[in-house]
Structure 1
């Protein structure tokens, strides 16, 4: 193992949503160290222009490379993945860069009646990348797309009243009357697993819930092993948190969602 193998992995999101990805990364790669960058000062990305998202994604990646010498990058944001990941891969090659996309393929394997709902930002649902994915899967299932405008922002602001209101609204849209009922819901934004309990309150207990976290963690592990840059140390890795927004909110959510106190 070379010294480079012990370098951290960068993880960034428009805000706190990427903590859902970080949790899976920690579980799958316990010996790796991570730098988590929350760009919550500019969140949510779903309401920003493509040019703005690309500029922020490049700036954050440069910062993570220059200040922390990251060996890999996980773009833990669906919107940044759809808008900017192809540019990041070109600009920062050969560094491995892993993105996220809605877990529709696993949902197809999970559904019993062929009716799936996808909760995501309007930006993700309208993206060429997502539309191309739907086209490839055409005819394999009935997919109901629900644009959850404002939900990521409410999560960022920890506005529980607004979160409850929006969850009720969007879950009603996800379960239309008529035809086979939805039996599988895809959480197509990394923020949404943070409020899974609020969403579940408006769905039957039998509902299946899927997100991309485990798939992203497994893909990251595969890329590290294939490139022989995994950390082979037996020591547990560390985490460092950085944000362009409210540090107290980030630390509070990290403690709440990851299950133990986090420090810079």
Structure 2
């Protein structure tokens, strides 16, 4: 399917299974302050991690179609699990649409690590995906890095509920991170876009477990830079004027509004939608 040339003033679409992609949106707003952004939180269909690649592919196509109807000039799949499951499908369906996915930052982690022992925190779906395992093997062979994979069952759900600094979340983080530090990891990859939202709690767990410096790798900055490159290449990078943010959610409008305010300190308009019915 070919798309008509996009206007410079057209918005960029960003979607995630919930509020985790706000960590990516935060980087995009910082680096591309003139762009209009449409953020789609598919919280009514979450979690993505327990669904098949076929189901997630169909869902990603539905969300992308919804955002294309609103004129987006580019798409950011701000979800590691959706990227693994659906990015190839989206690029095949829309070859002329700039699409940026997210993946755990193994390459920058290998560059940052001094002892080549790197912990990777992610969902089980991400860590078991063929795309991720190929990337791990490629970078491990090139750098000699040892990647210690840690599925973080339930962590994204806790963050989705707004449990950023609760005792339950802290205990979960300690259970997942402490063994990686005990194995000598000096770098931790935050392999789910939800996880940077609890970075302060992660740092507390690290400080409690070790006096060594541990580097945290968040790929949101790299995603924003790649988006800027693609927009510039397409001639659609907006370089003047004030940017804006609009939110869409398949769950609670109030919940997404609270997440925007509480997690990244903004109060954009938010609309509740139903895919298929496209009710706003």
TM-score of the two chains, using structure 1 as the length reference: 0.94
Per-residue deviation at 1:260?
Answer: 2.9
Name the structure 2 match of 1:137. Answer: 139
1:28, 1:143 → 2: CA distance?
A: 30
Distance 1:174 1:42 in 2: 31
The answer to whether the 8 A contact 1:146-1:173 is kept is no
Determine the C-alpha separation between the residues in 2 that align with 1:192 and 1:198. Answer: 10
Any conservation in 1 of the 2:117–2:186 contact (CA below 8 Å)? yes
Secondary structure class of the residue paired with 2:7: helix
Give the equivalent residue in structure 2 for 1:156: 160
Residue 41 of structure 1: aligned partner: 44
| Secondary structure at 2:102 match in 1 | coil
1:236 maps to what in 2? Answer: 242
User: 1:199: Cα distance to partner?
Assistant: 1.3
Aligned equivalents of 1:36, 1:91: Cα separation in 2 = 21
Rounded to whole Å, the distance in 1 between the matches of 2:191 and 2:258 is 23
Within 2, Cα distance between the matches of 1:242 and 1:144?
36
Bigger mean CA offset, 109-118 vs 215-224: 109-118
CA distance in 2, matches of 1:34, 1:55: 23
CA distance in 2, matches of 1:226, 1:255: 33
Report the Cα distance in structure 2 between the residues aligned to 1:260 and 1:161, rounded to whole angstroms: 27
Could you tell me which runs of 5 or more consecutive residues in structure 2 were left unpaired when the two chains were aligned: 271-280
TM-score (norm 2): 0.89
Q: Does 1:110 align with 2:115?
A: no
Determine if the alignment matches structure 1 residue 245 to structure 2 residue 248: no
Post-superposition CA distance 1:60-86 (Å, at most 9, x none):
0000001x1100000000000000010
Aligned partner of residue 5 in structure 1, secondary structure? coil
- Cα separation, 1, equivalents of 2:168 and 2:53: 27
Deviations 1:183-238 (A, max 9, x none): 11100000000111111111036211111101000000000001111113x21110
Q: Name the counterpart of 1:215.
A: 222
CA distance in 1, matches of 2:196, 2:256: 16
SS at match of 1:35: strand
Which structure 1 residue ranges, 5 or more long, are not aligned?
none
- What is the Cα deviation at residue 165 of structure 1? 2.0
User: Secondary structure in 2 aligned to 1:137?
Assistant: helix
Paired position in structure 2 for 1:166: 172
Alignment length (residue pairs): 258
